[in-house]
Chains A and B, each alone.
Chain A
Amino acid sequence: MAESGHGKVVKLPDRDPKPAFSKEDLVFASEEKKRIAGFVEEYEKPDGAIMKALWLAQEKFGFLHPDVIQLVADEVGIPYAQAYGVATFYTQYYKNKTGKYVLDVCTCFSCQVCGGYDILHYLEEKLEIHKGETTDDGLFTIQEVECLGACGSAPMLQVTNGPYVHHLTREKVDALVDALQNGQMPSFTSITLPQDEDEMGGNRRTDVDKTEAYRTPPVAETVE
């Protein structure tokens, strides 16, 4: 999804996409159906269950092809259009087949101010793809995303709907790509708050042993 030289161009989604899954594959197992029915029960109206059901489907099918969205909508019992609207709203739902790792670079306000676009463009040049595209080796997809709620450690990115990488610099991007190429996911990193720094090693998470603490570097260093 290349950007034109001037301004931004929002492309029309493929309105008549080729099927990606066979009819036989495009079903939920009874166990999955049961889980979706469970989601529906949790809410007053079936609408509420759509996000969890889409998530389940994404984990099963890898990405949300329109046929998958239709399947989910039918299972949840809401209109296809409504489910499709939800799926396209969130960048966490992949509408196309992605690479093994999806790098969601935040360019929303705080990250933008702190160099989010520099990081995005650096990554694009490094991997030789544009945002929205996947590398030929099928390893990486880059997405430009809106605020992921970690403005305090801007600029940041998220790896495949998983761990965040904070306070990005070019060096950190290099290291991340190297690690991922070796199959090493970054661990969850907990950002310290100044008031916590002496306590718990700055790590407030309950699953401390699975995460790393990260001390906020002096501001000037990051901005550079």
Chain B
Amino acid sequence: MPKVRIDNETYEFEGRPKLLQFCLDIGVELPHFCYHPSMSVPANCRQCLVRVGTPARDRGTGEMQVDEAGNPVIQYFPKLQTSCSLEITDGMVVETHRSSEEVAGAQKDNLEFLLINHPLDCPICDQAGHCPLQIQAYKYGPEGSRFEFDKVHKPKHIRLGPRVVLDGERCINCTRCTRYTSEVSGSHQLTIIERGVRNYPMTPPGTEFDEPYSMNVIDICPVGALTSADFRFKARIWEMSKTPSITVANAKGSNCYYWVKDNLVMKVTPRQNMDVNEYWLADEDRLDYERFNKDRPAGPMINGSAAGWDAAYGEAARLLSSVDPSEVLFIGSPFATVEDNYLLTKLADSLGSPAPQYIRHVEIGKGDDWLITDEKAPNHQGCERLGMSEIDAEIAAARIQTGEIKLVYVLEEDPVVAGVLSASDMDAVKVILHPYNVTNETLHGANVVLPAATIVETVGTFVNIDGHAQRVRPAKAIRGVNRTLVMEMGESRADRHGTPFDRWHNETNLVDCQPGWVSLPEVAERLDIEMAYKGPRQVMEEVAGTVDAFQGATYEAMGLEGVRLMEIGAAV
């Protein structure tokens, strides 16, 4: 196998890798700004310079030249090379800043150049703390600058579009953002304008940077030049914890991090998963977090008045046993986890009621063939795979009106908005509801309200539109102590932020809600139905072991990147 020597270590390589990517892959860090693995390589930032040589060959014979000791003679390129654009060849010898003073010096000088007109306003910059320019200037840059002139001032706080704000002075013109719009998203909305010290990215006059994937440039910008209109100045990076999870604004299940401060989700950023969303997120996924923070119920309720959890579970059980099981309509939810839907199915089954149905949320034409889907709920595949069928709103409404159905048990859904229930039916029929938000229109007539934990407060599984089963993890705490949640939280957050054990812990904004895998067994227990699981992990083990459509979907297997399930209906 061909070999390359980097800082006196020899590595084997396959194919024709580029040097920078190869180094990053083997864990040899090299400073860089403009290079991004998903885009073309313009080699314009010049930060990734290394010293490179190749074995000298005899011109006549093509034989490798060797010195007296029998080692190959290395011929160095006369100038330092940009590692991002250099293809590795067999026998290549590379010196990085670790072994070459010349390289270290060049990287330092380059940073001095990049910083000539940089405003150095890190203390008020959103990017500070996770800024490649800041980090690399700190690690490899000069201590001061010899350019003691007035800086060139460029436009600041310019709204490039509704969601992205530009600070032209911070830009180092790496062209990642413009390449993103021309090579990745294909909107072609950004370009670098002007030249020399005057240039920065801009939309051409009369247009806006408003593509549905515009906010990705915020993450790939290696400085704080592009910031989120929505998140600007709200929190410093070190004040937040980040939890790996998935987004739920559509059925793609794009992988993300939820950033939390004081038990509020502050922002959502993409998490790399080459099987799902690669490096990207749709803007709708990023802006889908206010509902985790706002309009949350104050706690359980019975007939419109606040109640304790115990009383509310008891009342739910009493209502369920007060009607004939055949008169209960169970409504599952494509917003809820597989685990919770499964438990609901079990509850219905144990009671002898018809199997739960679910409400489909499709907006035809909303989707594209990238990360936005027509399907507006994250887990309809999970419901389908559990064997739940789509509810026919008209038929269900008719059965409620004729009195055929006397009780509706709703898991994390809003049947009033879906047209299954109308406000006037609510007097005739009893309703038990697990809502996320008080904006849920079914809430008003509900007899028992058991507030549900949202995706950022629970543990569970979602199956995306392509049959990719993925786990969600708790990003923020809820009121009350739940051992499973605390443990999962500790696992999902290296800094244990928000758990009672960390120094940032605070009690503000805790929502009094429960995951379905807590509340459903509580109700079942009061009906003398056996539903004792150690937690969602065990529920999912059972699902994976007993339901063919979930074969292999254990927590261990899903890990951080999920598993691709067999197609529904495929022969097992």
Contacts and interface: CB of A to CB of B under 8 A. Distances in A.
A60 B113 CA distance: 41
B428 interface: no
Nearest to A65: B205
A194 interface: no
Contact of B193 (A8, A14, A88): A88
Contacts of B193: 13, 84-85, 88-89
B509 interface: no
B153 A17 contact: no
Nearest to A79: B188
A90 B207 CA distance: 21
Contacts of A70: 204, 206
Nearest to B156: A12
A84 B192 CA distance: 9
Interface in A39-71: 66-67, 69-70
A88 B201 CA distance: 12
Contact of A16 (B182, B198, B206): B206
Contacts of B420: none
Contacts of A67: 206
B150 interface: yes
Contacts of A16: 205-206
Nearest to B209: A81
Contacts of B203: 15, 81
B196 A84 contact: no
Interface residues of B, number: 30
A220 interface: no
Contact of B195 (A9, A11, A84, A146): A146
A6 interface: yes
Given A79-B182, A88-B193, A13 B202 contact: yes
Contacts of A88: 193-195
A96 to B, nearest CB: 12
B152 A82 contact: no
A7 interface: yes
A29 interface: no
Contacts of B312: none
Contacts of B198: 10
Give me the 6 closest cross-chain CB pairs, A-B, nearest first: A7-B150, A85-B191, A79-B188, A84-B204, A66-B205, A81-B191
Interface of A: 4, 6-17, 66-67, 69-70, 79-85, 88-90, 146
Given A70-B204, A88-B194, 7 more contacts: A10-B154, A10-B198, A13-B205, A17-B206, A69-B204, A70-B206, A81-B178
